[in-house]
Amino acid sequence: MEKGPKYERLKQMIRQNIQDGIWKPESKLPPENELCESFEVSKITVKKAKDELLTEGVLETIPGRKGVFIRKLQGISAGSLIGVVIDDVNVVPFTGIFKGIEDKLWENKLHSILGNVYFDPEKAESYLQSLLQNNIAGVITVPMICEGYQENNRRVLNLLKEKNIPSVLVDRYLPNFDIPSVVSNNRQASKEMAERLFARGHRRILAVSGLPCSSMDERVQGYIDAFEEAGIERDPNLLIRSNEKLFTLSSAHQNNELARIKSLIQKAGDFTACYFMNAPLQTTVRVIFPNGRDGHQQVEFAAYDEITEPLRSLTNRALIVVQPGYKVGWEAAKLLIQEIREPHQGIVQMTIKSEIIEKVLD
């Protein structure tokens, strides 16, 4: 639990343990000292997380019994349950997105069931199938990053359309698919990032993209737009595609991907700036800079969302696109509530502006 407020992260872990069946409905929540030890947090953090989950109805106290208990799901009416499917709630910007969703739903007396699917489209499909059997009121979901992005996600989302379940896509969307969505301004933000690097004198910018999806496609296009609008010649070899799941692939697949990426890096040649188009892609630094910063002391870094551990091994400073995660989640929940209360009001595609900052770690 290293990113975001610790009590928020602890809340998600408690929710996840309940969802995964580790802690059963009506069972007693482990005592504070055990939670402190298990999750390596303070008693203050445990108390704050526990108090909020009591307020939200996830936990409950029972008269005449000591301790805090897991509330039975049946204690919440089925019509007030919203399924939320997210890549990984522990990763920026999804921590903020889920918090925004939760807050808006709670404001309207609705409750969320979180599916933390860890970038696995099969798990997402299985989770949605189980939600459909529980008379949920609606779904907010992130289309999964995967090979065959459009085909796989259309198949999954058609499950919701066939059952007429009110749904909203968050963070990504599917082109020409009529489900409302709330996303950040990926194309414009990526263009502005490249322009920031131009202003610092960079022309040879190694841009590391990932698996195809709406947000990645737009970020790539924004990078290209910046060169075209500035009239700067762009070396196409400097735009390379890595893989967000690179170091979790099977050995054979990983070896093939590593060989492919190493070949692209060799072909790219020299560069003065390196731009990672999402946070998980920062693992690629191990391939781009196998000897650390030897020979690359002057390279400047840019990235989406945050400076993650792989990049921290090289620098404590980077230009960062900060996505409005909380606002994206809040607006997605607001849109879903409108869909539930007044269906068939037209498809809304909402885009929210990101900002670029220079981040320096202590």
Q: For residues 255 and 59, what is the distance between their CA atoms, to the nearest angstrom?
A: 46
Residue 142 identity: V
Q: 3-class DSSP state for residue 62?
A: coil
Q: What angle is formed at CA 115 by the lines to CA 33 and CA 141, rounded to 5 degrees?
A: 140
Residue 55: other Cβ atoms inside 10 A: 10
Confidence at residue 238, expressed as pLDDT on a 0 to 100 scale: 99
Confidence at residue 1, expressed as pLDDT on a 0 to 100 scale: 44
Backbone angles phi, psi at 139, to 5 degrees: -140, 135
Token readout for 163 is: 């059952």
Confidence at residue 216, expressed as pLDDT on a 0 to 100 scale: 97
Q: Which domains, from first to last, does the chain contain?
A: 1-75 (1.10.10.10), 186-322 (3.40.50.2300)
Single out the residue of 130, 83, 125, 127 nearest to residue 105, CA to CA.
83
Residue 255: other Cβ atoms inside 10 A: 11
Confidence at residue 6, expressed as pLDDT on a 0 to 100 scale: 84
pLDDT along the chain (362 residues), means of 10: 70 80 87 91 91 81 90 58 90 93 91 85 85 87 89 89 93 93 98 99 98 96 99 98 90 94 97 97 96 86 96 96 98 95 84 98 88
Single out the residue of 255, 319, 310 nearest to residue 284, CA to CA.
310
Token readout for 357 is: 């900052």
Q: For residues 51 and 323, what is the distance between their CA atoms, to the nearest angstrom?
A: 29
Q: For residues 192 and 232, what is the distance between their CA atoms, to the nearest angstrom?
A: 15
Q: For residues 62 and 76, what is the distance between their CA atoms, to the nearest angstrom?
A: 16
Q: In 93-246, where do the E strands start and end?
A: 111-116, 138-141, 167-170, 181-184, 205-209, 239-241
Residue pair 271/205 in contact by the 8 Å Cβ criterion: yes
Confidence at residue 74, expressed as pLDDT on a 0 to 100 scale: 45
Confidence at residue 79, expressed as pLDDT on a 0 to 100 scale: 65
Q: For residues 142 and 168, what is the distance between their CA atoms, to the nearest angstrom?
A: 9
Q: What is the pTM of this model?
A: 0.79
Token readout for 334 is: 């607001």
The pairing of strands 349-352 and 205-209 is unpaired
The pairing of strands 111-116 and 138-141 is unpaired
The pairing of strands 205-209 and 273-276 is parallel
Q: For residues 68 and 65, what is the distance between their CA atoms, to the nearest angstrom?
A: 9
